[in-house]
Amino acid sequence: MAELNGSQILVECLKEQGVDTIFGYPGGAVLNLYDELYRHQDEIKHILTSHEQGAAHAADGYARATGKVGVCLATSGPGATNLVTGIANAYMDSVPMVAITGNVGTNLLGKDSFQEVDIAGVTMPITKHNFIVKDVKKLAKTIRRAFKIAASGRPGPVLVDITKDVTANKCEYKKEDVKKADKAKKEKSFTEKELDKAAEMIAKAKRPVIFLGGGAIISEAHKEIKALVDLMDAPVCDSLMGKGAFDGTDKRYMGMIGMHGTKTANFSVTECDLLVVLGARFSDRVTGNTKSFAKRAKILHIDIDPAEINKNVKVDLSIEGDVKDVLKELNKKLTKQSHDEWMEHIAEMQAKYPLRYHENELTGPYFIEELYRLTKGDAIISTEVGQHQMWAAQFYKYSKPRTLLTSGGLGTMGYGLGASIGAQIGLPNKQVINLAGDGCFRMNMNELATAAHYNVPIIEVVFNNNVLGMVRQWQTLFYGKRYSQTLLSQDIDYVKLAESMNIKAFRVTKKEEVDEVIKKALKAKGPVFIEVVIDKNESVWPMVPAGATLEETFSEEDVKEKEAKAKK
pLDDT of residue 180: 64
Band of residue 13 on the pLDDT scale cut at 50, 70, 90: very high
For residue 181, pLDDT beyond 60? no
CA angle 97, 100, 103 (to 5 degrees): 155
Question: Where is average pLDDT lowest: 61-70, 460-469, 554-563?
Answer: 554-563
pLDDT (tens digit, 9 = 90+) per residue, 41-50? Answer: 999 999 999 9
DSSP assignment, residue 180?
H
For residue 183, pLDDT beyond 60? no
Q: What Rg, from alpha-carbon coordinates, does the chain have?
A: 24
203 versus 109: the higher-pLDDT residue is 203
For residue 568, pLDDT beyond 80? no
pLDDT of residue 129: 98
Is the domain spanning 2-181 CATH 3.40.50.2300? The answer is: no
Which residues, in sequence order, are bridge partners of residue 459? 433, 528
Residue 223: exposure state from Cβ atoms within 10 A (0-12, 13-18, ≥19): exposed
> Catalytic residues, which ones?
52, 114-115, 164, 470
How far apart CA 74 and CA 80 sit, in angstroms, is: 6
Cβ–Cβ contacts within 10 Å for residue 356, how many? 12
pLDDT (tens digit, 9 = 90+) per residue, 62-79? Answer: 999 999 999 999 999 999
411-415: average pLDDT: 98
pLDDT of residue 179: 73
Band of residue 353 on the pLDDT scale cut at 50, 70, 90: very high
pLDDT (tens digit, 9 = 90+) per residue, 474-492? Answer: 999 999 999 999 999 888 9
Name residues whose C-beta falls within 8 Å of residue 477's C-beta, 6 or more positions apart in sequence. Answer: 543, 545, 559
The two beta strands, 528-533 and 504-508, are: parallel
Global pTM? 0.96
Q: Where are the domains of the chain?
A: 2-181, 192-352, 364-540
Nearest Cα to Cα of residue 321 among 219, 242, 183 = 219
pLDDT of residue 178: 82
User: Half-sphere exposure of residue 338, counting CA atoms within 13 Å on the CB side?
Assistant: 1
CATH of 192-352, one of 3.40.50.2300, 3.40.50.2000, 3.10.105.10, 3.40.50.1220: 3.40.50.1220
Conformation bin of residue 75: beta by default, left when phi > 0, alpha when psi is -120 to 50: beta
pLDDT of residue 182: 63
pLDDT of residue 188: 78
For residue 149, pLDDT beyond 80? yes
pLDDT (tens digit, 9 = 90+) per residue, 428-444? Answer: 999 999 999 999 999 99
pLDDT of residue 187: 65
Are 308 and 294 within 8 A, CB to CB? no
Structurally, what CATH architecture does the domain formed by 364-540 represent? Answer: 3-Layer(aba) Sandwich (3.40)
Which residues, in sequence order, are bridge partners of residue 100? 73, 160
Tell me the pLDDT of the chain averaged across its residues. Answer: 96
Q: What is the DSSP string of 360-414?
A: TS--HHHHHHHHHHHHTT-SEEEE-SSHHHHHHHHHS---STT-EE---SS--TT
Query: Which residue type occupies 353?
Result: Y
User: Half-sphere exposure of residue 501, counting CA atoms within 13 Å on the CB side?
Assistant: 22
How far apart CA 476 and CA 562 sit, in angstroms, is: 15
The two beta strands, 2-5 and 170-173, are: antiparallel
Domains 192-352 and 364-540 agree in fold:
yes
pLDDT of residue 102: 98
Residues 143, 146, 150, 156: what is their CA dihedral angle, to the nearest 10 degrees?
Answer: -120
pLDDT (tens digit, 9 = 90+) per residue, 218-267? Answer: 999 999 999 999 999 999 999 999 999 999 999 999 999 999 999 999 99
Handedness of CA 540, 541, 547, 550 (dihedral sign): negative
